[in-house]
Amino acid sequence: MMDIHQILKQLPHRYPILLVDRVLELEKGQRILALKNVSINEPYFEGHFPHRPVMPGVLMLEAMAQAAALLAFDMLGVVPDEKTVFYFAGIDGARFKRPVEPGDQLLMDVRLERTKAGIFKFKGVTRVGTEIACEAELMCTQRTIA
């Protein structure tokens, strides 16, 4: 398990783009279960959509990628620094099954499928309760920047 203080040491993201509040389960090199509390105070709800606030799908994908990065960093035994970034390399099969609204708790269940030549492939499923909100295959890579 990881609380917000440990997450902040691992991920370079900060408000308003930090989308992981807690790690509930972590199976080294295999799987992570992370939580995002969705609040009406999120800045994107002001415009998406004012009459019926809904979390943008791309942010659900970003939340899964942030959880995937935590899994990868734990597997590699590294703490990223300001010269390390974990980028999307691809997204396949993204499907959105239900809207995510203020007050929901988004659970990101991300599994490492394989890693090859510095590319990590993950299968992610986000749920609200037992209902699937979003699912996708994510490819990510770690890079050092100058």
Instruction: Show which residues are catalytic.
Output: 48
Backbone angles phi, psi at 7, to 5 degrees: -65, -45
The secondary structure of residue 6, as a DSSP letter, is H
The three-class DSSP label of residue 82 is: coil
The token pair that represents 27 in the structure block:
């199976």
| CA atoms of 32 and 112, how far apart (whole Å) | 9
- In the chain, the largest separation of any two C-alpha atoms, in whole Å, equals 46
